[in-house]
Amino acid sequence: MSPKTTRAGKRHDATPLLEWVLGGIGVVLFVGAIAFLTYEEFRGADRVSGVEIHIDEIVRTHDAYLVRYRAHNQGTQTLVDLRIVARVLDGTTERERVEAGIDFLPGESWRRGGFYLREDPQKYRIEIRAGGYQEP
């Protein structure tokens, strides 16, 4: 395309600078997306590593104890319908057992939740673990 002239007789490029800038940004985004998809393809299969559970706090409520926890999926595979089991133990005797669920826990992410317990978990030993999951 030949350059255009203005009324003053000056020549200028027919393609505005903004168009070149936006075109360049589009190319960078396209190349970045292709690079990411290529990386994901060769990274390997999703791995199930395990779910690490930490107790954040224990709060006394009106008629129970709320144990707030954080579950961290250390693998890359998404977990669906993850069951979390909490047990209150007095030595080897189980005084209370409750379960909770996390509907969707993506790989390398975390979710928070809580259990309501009748027994004071600070008087006894509390054990929280992942009980099972499904694959999406």
Cβ-based neighbours of 87, under 8 Å, separated by 6 or more:
94, 96, 97, 126, 127, 128
Higher pLDDT, 54 or 3: 54
Alpha-carbon span 99 to 83, nearest angstrom: 7
The per-residue pLDDT for 33 is: 96
Question: What integer is the mean pLDDT of 20-38?
Answer: 94
pTM more than 0.85: no
Domain boundaries along the sequence of the chain = 14-42, 51-134
What is the DSSP code string of 52-86?
Answer: EEEEEEEEE-SSSEEEEEEEEE-SSS-EEEEEEEE
CATH class of 51-134: mainly beta
The per-residue pLDDT for 40 is: 76
pLDDT in tens, 35-71: 998 887 777 666 767 899 999 999 999 999 999 999 9
Q: How confident is the model at residue 15 (pLDDT cuts 50, 70, 90)?
A: confident
Q: Does the structure show a pLDDT above 70 at 23? A: yes
Alpha-carbon span 130 to 114, nearest angstrom: 13
